[in-house]
A and B are shown apart, each in its own frame.
Chain A
């Protein structure tokens, strides 16, 4: 009897006083314990969390031309309205108070920024070695640079060295708090941050990664080359394109293919052409109403001999019986979302453009042909030649269109080239009987900032 008392009293005392706080200090599976470095490795492995780029530009470029009433009619419905609004260069794309008032592209890009900021700022207090932490931080810096480069090329004016210090860019969030002000930084500040992030990342980045979704050294060089190109700094663009190509230079050979599918074409995450995998927001294979119908003007430029025409485009009947013309189809063919991150072909064409800009049109064509030889059946391949620097430049830009159709780069190019005499054009298109015009100096080269965002944070300045 006594011993029972003792036992009970002892165990109660033990329960009450010793180690109770420790009792509840355990980890529940599925919920990571803060301050462990491995968490951030896992975060960086989340492809979905880093891969998305804005998709607004998909419809805005002149590669696309929607003419079928059936497709236009569906795009008119409230849920798809924003595709049509971007297609017709509206000053309001996401009307406040509608079901489509959220700018999902903007949100997706800033979700990447949140992930990056969390990693960059929380990693230093975690438990790993400095080398581990630096490597993970470097990956996050590359992703953040890519997100800001995409944001600034959608929602801010094209880079102009004379006005960049005053032109409004996008909010530059470098910390993961949800209460900071959202005033927009200048275009220059954004580009400076992008370059600073990439340069900071380079020393710690791994030379190779298992998958293209994880930034490697080549990714950072590729992003730098792209960044300088859109700053019109062709010397630096070429320099970093060269460094990227030193790391990776394979171009997929299409010459022998009669069709592409997932068995004979590399997957995006291991495609040797891709330096860093990025996809337009919305992922997946384009859904029928948003299928990208190619403009006649672009199809004429592409030509029917090009393997990129044969393999990556299809007649409309493949998409829907109600559609006509020809559609971009690469993603459906290989069952994956199209990549729009930096790639070997892009680096190749940046090198070509830099030569053309420098007046070395022969070298420019040499670089263009390095790509083209892989894009035609051997029997159909004819090397391009140029007669002048300008001729070479036009041919380089044309080749960019052929290589990059259906992804954001064409729209970005239209923006950066709009005031160059060689490329200045006024674009027009007709939708539902209304003609829309995009003049070279139009404000519509810059997408508006959604009213919903401005309603929640009025300090976020509007675009003109």
Chain B
């Protein structure tokens, strides 16, 4: 007869009886019966025990057992020697069972027959890979109470007798229902990810902890590896472009992924430097005016200072975007821009090695030079003739040294004027020039179709006590510019070890190795407006196949006279440069993490974390003696001799060159100790707390040196003097650049942080976090540094309320609200007199320092107060999903630079006093529109709205707004990216731009305007509405996917002429086709708005034309980013050696489906010719991917 005494009265009665007996019988022997012992324990710890009556009979324990310090200890001492075990049921309730397991089952079976008691069920929930699943909600059909699995996926639960079904649910997983058949009381339940559902495998990682999405109050979006795999580009940046509502990824380079225009770390830059001209990313708009605006990047738990291109996208398990204060404030002062948390893949326990191989190849067309809208040769020739005839360019004189270069037609026209050539000679040359279109040769010799290859191999698996994931990848990229190439090798070694059956040690090792060859001649060297711009009628190679050299530094008439005096050839030809360039950058990055997790006691565990990230970069630029750089440099240091042969004053002899080198090293570490507590009480109260402290150091060093006369064969260079200077071609002494420097910057951070979350009954969650940061460069006094940042959040899981239980169509409904403060720092601001150390004073060569800013004792950290309301809806078994967030970011104490009276010694001072209010909406809508065995149609729509406003009365309209309205700084009451323009009033009779003032009166170019009302508010330059639309259609093994991105509501200035030549600016040729539309003679003003080139106010007039309302275009567009078709090869029918294989063909950069401007301009590529990092719109690229799993 087995009986369980769960009812207190019976229990009490029994124990009282037992107590009496035992005291009498066994006191002298100091042994007591188990019944007595348990009763004593029960009273002492207010616990209840359930056990089969017979199992404690005739068993004894020494009375000392009761002296144990804890309940656990006491029970162990009492029960273990008697071959009994105790099981935790709920707070204060334990079941005692014999060590023999079978008895438990018998006991459970017997319980069903017991009318009075509930069924007691224990078990574990596992995911499809056999890993325990914490946070799974378990509920029977017999009552409304539910429990949640603990950190090990275990649960124990009293189920009412009437219950027949036990349901297991977890967001993103199919609900599993287990029938209670009365035989199995120890369940092992496996949950499978929901089909046709992008929320699978969702883990929210803050970098400090993983939280189940159900219990996260913050605005957090997680991107899975599956989503990342859709885009076949070697850089994760491109893969993120359309995935997350509210995250704006701007790709401003069309032809590359990681072969950035700048790949070198700027040691003195206050913001990121690598890849800045190629892409940008913001989470919920701008949070700062002068500080870093890029989100914080965390990789496997540690802040990474490396660019995202160092990551192999195929290694990424998931990326979590922390968008609001509640999610991000755990990262303290760097969190105001949002946080990107990257987690790399791990192997699963007890899995056979799984090998995955993939390769991608892509090719794309040459970019279209017509997009630059340059003049034809005939137009350019006519323009130059006007420049000469109107005396805008001064007459060249071969006898005068150092005259600036002029274009061939300009020179020719002067020669005609001077009578040194005949009209017939002139006409013949002009007609020859008119037939040339330089774009043909530029395209032929300088541009190439971009191409790239990626290979990726990974293996993952694990045994009983360890798991591993190893990968290697190789990517090669050849951008559009001939001579440039980038290669990347990445290696990842991730291991997880179970130590002593309890502790877990996770290690991550990542290496990325880059090799950039930057020997190309950039397009801007042809088109950048200067006195030696490559003219539409210029050739790289002439009709006879000879390379054409042009004089780029001085007037060719003068430099031609120097050759006979012993000067080096002073002409430039781009193909010669391509042949001679030797410009290679190598970069090795390593990152190592170790994370030890030791469970201490019931839900309490301890983490020790260490991360070290190191990089070694070497940038080497060798100019051999045939390069233009070398010849130009050496000629510059060769005084013109009165007689005899010229000799360079530095003493360089043939055989050597100039070697510029820069070596960059970084070494950053993080050490963290953290206590985690995660426990569930009484099946209803789930508490998670983390607290820790962290120290972090960043170290960056950069050494730059130049070796003159360096001989690659001998390795020897010539010693030079950097400070006394050498006689130059100009007749005076010039200093030699390139004195070796070495900079080393170490920064340290100390932080304390804590985060707590409490969930009641799986329905109501409150969370709070706080962090205190200290940084060595922020203030001499700790009071300047000490700013605790905090947040709090609430979440209501409405779907779990009983009133919605009957609504089957709702599978998920959460309402969230959070509030908190995030910080931001500027690494270049100080409250005391900021004295910056220079290297060497120019004239004296002494070490020097300068006052960068006077003392500003009131300096504080920027704070951004973020309020977020969110709702998550899942309907129809999560086939339809909606996540919406509305937020307000109120930045206070935002740093801004204000004008100051120059009498104080500086004209601006950065203070924290501005307010920046941002508002927005993030919306993600996902739907499985249709699915059955053969078909799957899924669509995702992301939408974001973001705006901001600067409020500060110290940003009044100033002269810089009146004189340069489109690019002026902040204005009180307007967004940070506002744009003002002039009201164009056409041209006057002399061809000068006129504008209207605030009263509608016409203002000539010679007069300034003085009121903001004279300007037109054109709008914002970054789009307030943006997002993406993805659709995937699967038919059997074929999947077709389309990714479109869109933006609405912004404006941009149409690219036009950037400058005209003038006697002040000197000769500078801008080739934009608008030049051909310029005013040339009285009367032209009736037909054109493009101002004339002549006149004192021509510069001002051009600027007003550039920045007037007639040049404002709308930036709205819908872009078809990618179309792909993939085929899942049915390998099972062919071979057993391969588990799965996939082939995909993707076409990227298909162009704009729709755009508001009718000029054929891509609003993402609207820079004028005078932009050094000018990018052309990406051409269509074709990508082939093969993926095989063994």
Interface residues of A (CB under 8 A from B): 1, 4-5, 8-9, 11-12, 15-16, 20-21, 23-32, 34, 39, 42-43, 45-49, 70, 73-74, 76-80, 95-99, 101-103, 106-107, 110-111, 113-115, 117-118, 122, 171, 173, 176-178, 180, 182, 210-211, 213, 261-263, 267-269, 288-289, 317-318, 320-322, 332-336, 453, 456-457, 460
Q: Which B residues lie within 8 Å of A43 (CB)?
A: 835, 848-851
Known contacts: A32-B835, A263-B733. The answer to whether A16 contacts B673 by CB under 8 A is yes
A42 near B848: Cβ-Cβ < 8 Å:
yes
Closest to A42 in B: B849
Closest to B752 in A: A16
**Whole-angstrom distance between the alpha carbons of A213 and B846 in the complex?**
11
Q: Which A residues lie within 8 Å of B695 (CB)?
A: 15, 20, 23
- Choose among B748, B774, B830, B904 the residue with the greatest number of A CB atoms under 10 Å from its CB: B904
Known contacts: A8-B608, A118-B833. The answer to whether A106 contacts B903 by CB under 8 A is yes
Q: Which B residues lie within 8 Å of A210 (CB)?
A: 844, 846
A262 near B732: Cβ-Cβ < 8 Å:
yes
Known contacts: A42-B847, A111-B906. The answer to whether A15 contacts B841 by CB under 8 A is no
B843 near A106: Cβ-Cβ < 8 Å:
no
At the interface, yes or no: B268 with Cβ under 8 Å from chain A?
yes
Known contacts: A8-B598, A49-B850. The answer to whether A28 contacts B745 by CB under 8 A is yes
**Whole-angstrom distance between the alpha carbons of A111 and B850 in the complex?**
11
Closest to A334 in B: B732
B897-911 contacts to A, CB under 8 A, are 899-907, 909
Q: Which A residues lie within 8 Å of B833 (CB)?
A: 34, 118, 122, 176
B608 near A456: Cβ-Cβ < 8 Å:
no
**Whole-angstrom distance between the alpha carbons of A147 and B1096 in the complex?**
35
A46 near B400: Cβ-Cβ < 8 Å:
no
**Whole-angstrom distance between the alpha carbons of A76 and B855 in the complex?**
39
What are 6 A-to-B residue pairs whose CB atoms are below 8 Å? A24-B750, A31-B830, A32-B849, A49-B851, A96-B959, A262-B733
Min Cβ gap A336→B in Å is: 8
B836 near A31: Cβ-Cβ < 8 Å:
yes
- Choose among B743, B748, B901, B909 the residue with the greatest number of A CB atoms under 10 Å from its CB: B901
Q: Which A residues lie within 8 Å of B774 (CB)?
A: 20-21, 24
B903 near A171: Cβ-Cβ < 8 Å:
yes
A32 near B748: Cβ-Cβ < 8 Å:
no
Closest to B1063 in A: A74
**Whole-angstrom distance between the alpha carbons of A48 and B830 in the complex?**
22
A321 near B837: Cβ-Cβ < 8 Å:
no
Tell me which of B216-224, B776-784, B884-892 binds A: B776-784
B369-408 contacts to A, CB under 8 A, are 391, 394-395, 397, 400
Min Cβ gap B980→A in Å is: 15
**Whole-angstrom distance between the alpha carbons of A122 and B1063 in the complex?**
47
Min Cβ gap B848→A in Å is: 4
A29 near B746: Cβ-Cβ < 8 Å:
yes
**Whole-angstrom distance between the alpha carbons of A8 and B598 in the complex?**
9
B963 near A46: Cβ-Cβ < 8 Å:
no
**Whole-angstrom distance between the alpha carbons of A103 and B785 in the complex?**
37
Q: Which B residues lie within 8 Å of A332 (CB)?
A: 732
B1064 near A110: Cβ-Cβ < 8 Å:
no
A28 near B777: Cβ-Cβ < 8 Å:
yes
Q: Which B residues lie within 8 Å of A29 (CB)?
A: 743-746, 837
Closest to B827 in A: A28
Q: Which A residues lie within 8 Å of B744 (CB)?
A: 29
Q: Which B residues lie within 8 Å of A96 (CB)?
A: 959
B903 near A182: Cβ-Cβ < 8 Å:
yes
Tell me which of B456-464, B723-731, B1173-1181 binds A: B723-731
**Whole-angstrom distance between the alpha carbons of A80 and B1176 in the complex?**
37
**Whole-angstrom distance between the alpha carbons of A34 and B849 in the complex?**
12
B851 near A5: Cβ-Cβ < 8 Å:
no
**Whole-angstrom distance between the alpha carbons of A101 and B842 in the complex?**
29
- Choose among A115, A318, A321 the residue with the greatest number of B CB atoms under 10 Å from its CB: A321
**Whole-angstrom distance between the alpha carbons of A42 and B1096 in the complex?**
44
B745 near A15: Cβ-Cβ < 8 Å:
no
Q: Which B residues lie within 8 Å of A177 (CB)?
A: 854-855, 904
- Residue of B752, B843, B851, B1008 touching A118 (CB-CB under 8 A): B851
At the interface, yes or no: B503 with Cβ under 8 Å from chain A?
yes
Q: Which A residues lie within 8 Å of B856 (CB)?
A: 178
Q: Mark B749-776, 1 if CB is under 8 A from A, else 0.
A: 1101000000000000000000000111
Closest to A151 in B: B903
B732 near A24: Cβ-Cβ < 8 Å:
no
Known contacts: A26-B746, A42-B848, A182-B901. The answer to whether A176 contacts B1096 by CB under 8 A is no
Q: Mark B850-879, 1 if CB is under 8 A from A, else 0.
A: 110011100000000000000000000000
Q: Which B residues lie within 8 Å of A39 (CB)?
A: 835, 849
- Choose among A78, A288, A457 the residue with the greatest number of B CB atoms under 10 Å from its CB: A78
Closest to A263 in B: B727
B1063 near A30: Cβ-Cβ < 8 Å:
no
Closest to A71 in B: B1063
At the interface, yes or no: B671 with Cβ under 8 Å from chain A?
yes
Q: Which A residues lie within 8 Å of B750 (CB)?
A: 20-21, 23-24
- Residue of A30, A78, A111, A289 touching B905 (CB-CB under 8 A): A111
**Whole-angstrom distance between the alpha carbons of A78 and B400 in the complex?**
29
Q: Which A residues lie within 8 Å of B734 (CB)?
A: 335
Known contacts: A8-B606, A110-B902, A335-B731. The answer to whether A322 contacts B1063 by CB under 8 A is yes
At the interface, yes or no: B523 with Cβ under 8 Å from chain A?
no
B668-702 contacts to A, CB under 8 A, are 671, 673, 675, 693, 695
Q: Which B residues lie within 8 Å of A46 (CB)?
A: 838, 841, 848-850
**Whole-angstrom distance between the alpha carbons of A92 and B327 in the complex?**
57
A80 near B855: Cβ-Cβ < 8 Å:
no
Known contacts: A15-B695, A43-B848, A43-B849. The answer to whether A269 contacts B904 by CB under 8 A is no
B776 near A28: Cβ-Cβ < 8 Å:
yes
Q: Mark B716-728, 1 if CB is under 8 A from A, else 0.
A: 0000000001011
Q: Which A residues lie within 8 Å of B848 (CB)?
A: 42-43, 45-47
B842 near A115: Cβ-Cβ < 8 Å:
no
Closest 10 CB pairs of A and B: A114-B905, A335-B732, A107-B902, A42-B849, A262-B733, A12-B673, A45-B848, A45-B846, A262-B732, A46-B848
Closest to B958 in A: A97
What would 11 more interface pairs be, CB under 8 Å, given A5-B600, A213-B844?
A: A15-B695, A21-B774, A28-B777, A45-B849, A47-B843, A79-B1064, A103-B902, A107-B903, A114-B854, A267-B733, A289-B1064
Q: Which B residues lie within 8 Å of A1 (CB)?
A: 500
B749 near A24: Cβ-Cβ < 8 Å:
yes
Known contacts: A30-B745, A335-B730. The answer to whether A173 contacts B904 by CB under 8 A is yes
Q: Which A residues lie within 8 Å of B1063 (CB)?
A: 70, 73-74, 288-289, 322
B1063-1094 contacts to A, CB under 8 A, are 1063-1064
Known contacts: A262-B733, A321-B395. The answer to whether A73 contacts B849 by CB under 8 A is no
B901 near A21: Cβ-Cβ < 8 Å:
no
Q: Which A residues lie within 8 Å of B841 (CB)?
A: 45-48
B905 near A322: Cβ-Cβ < 8 Å:
no
Known contacts: A24-B748, A98-B959. The answer to whether A456 contacts B900 by CB under 8 A is yes
Q: Which A residues lie within 8 Å of B733 (CB)?
A: 262-263, 267, 335
Closest to A287 in B: B1064
Q: Which B residues lie within 8 Å of A76 (CB)?
A: 1096
Min Cβ gap A269→B in Å is: 5
A97 near B851: Cβ-Cβ < 8 Å:
no
Q: Which B residues lie within 8 Å of A117 (CB)?
A: 905
Known contacts: A178-B854, A211-B844, A335-B733. The answer to whether A110 contacts B959 by CB under 8 A is no
Closest to A261 in B: B731
Min Cβ gap B327→A in Å is: 25
- Residue of B748, B847, B963 touching A23 (CB-CB under 8 A): B748
At the interface, yes or no: B37 with Cβ under 8 Å from chain A?
no
**Whole-angstrom distance between the alpha carbons of A289 and B1097 in the complex?**
15
**Whole-angstrom distance between the alpha carbons of A282 and B734 in the complex?**
18
B844 near A178: Cβ-Cβ < 8 Å:
no
**Whole-angstrom distance between the alpha carbons of A74 and B1062 in the complex?**
9
